[in-house]
């Protein structure tokens, strides 16, 4: 597909209540050509509003009017995922989800627990003991293409929020700032996927995490490098307005 046209993030694909899920939107934009992409989220992602897509050199941009919302530059995932936890351990961890995004009234398309069955991915990560978060995701047929495999933008989404679960506990909140995904193998519907994330490092309000999807036998299906921005209290108030 040529890097021009429009994308629209439907209201169901929210992250924060009033803006789009970063991983899902990044996956849509990254799908505009075959070059591996690092996607940066430059502004809150409008819901149910067309974003124009165009190329500026080797960067593909999504804009709302004159405002840049997303920018995808050439880039490849660089982290080496650790071995996957067992399916049983990941299932057990998911019964104790940590606070990031998954509690209370959250309706995030990926990690919100306040979504109806079949609406959203329902990926709730809990800690494996005192270490990395993990979960199990069983993709629904409605996130797959005609070939029966999960569409790329949904894999990007599944690789998004788990990275946030790996970050240090914060009194405010985190938002995805940048993401680079690598999709290694097709992911079929109705087969359990081990979701695993790990904290890489922090630098002030910037936090880096890796995420990975494995099959039930531990084979690597997809991975991502993610950069998260810790919001100030004033920015958190802005999200709610």
How many Å apart are CA 190 and CA 184, to the nearest integer?
18
> What pLDDT was estimated at residue 1?
45
* Residue 60, pLDDT above cutoff 60: yes
Number of Cα atoms under 13 Å in the Cβ half of residue 223: 17
The pTM (predicted TM-score) of the whole model is 0.93
> What pLDDT was estimated at residue 118?
77
DSSP calls for 5-42:
EEEE--GGGBSSTTSB-HHHHHHHHHTTSSS-EEEEE-
pLDDT 10s digits, 161-180 = 999 989 887 666 889 999 99
* Residue 102, pLDDT above cutoff 60: no
């Amino acid at each position: 597909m040529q890097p021009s046209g429009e994308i629209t993030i439907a209201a169901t694909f929210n992250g924060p209540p009033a803006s789009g899920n970063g991983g899902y939107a990044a996956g849509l934009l990254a799908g505009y050509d075959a070059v591996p992409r690092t996607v940066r989220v430059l502004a809150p992602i409008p819901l149910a509003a067309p974003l124009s897509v165009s190329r500026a050199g080797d960067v593909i941009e999504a804009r709302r009017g004159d405002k840049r919302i997303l920018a995808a530059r050439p880039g490849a995932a660089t982290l080496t995922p650790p071995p996957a936890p067992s399916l049983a351990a990941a299932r057990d961890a998911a019964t104790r989800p940590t606070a990031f995004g998954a509690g209370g009234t959250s309706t995030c398309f990926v990690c919100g627990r306040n979504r109806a069955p079949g609406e959203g991915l329902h990926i709730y990560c809990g800690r494996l003991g005192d270490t990395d978060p993990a979960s199990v995701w069983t993709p629904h047929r409605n996130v797959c293409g005609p070939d029966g495999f999960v569409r790329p933008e949904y894999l990007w989404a599944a690789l998004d929020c788990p990275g946030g679960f790996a970050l240090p506990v914060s009194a405010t909140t985190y938002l995805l700032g940048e993401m680079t995904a690598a999709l290694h193998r097709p992911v079929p519907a109705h087969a359990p996927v081990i979701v695993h994330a790990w904290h890489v490092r922090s630098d002030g309000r910037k936090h880096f995490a890796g995420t990975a999807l494995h099959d039930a036998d531990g084979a690597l299906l997809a991975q991502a490098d993610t950069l998260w921005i810790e919001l100030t209290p004033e920015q958190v108030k802005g999200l709610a307005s």
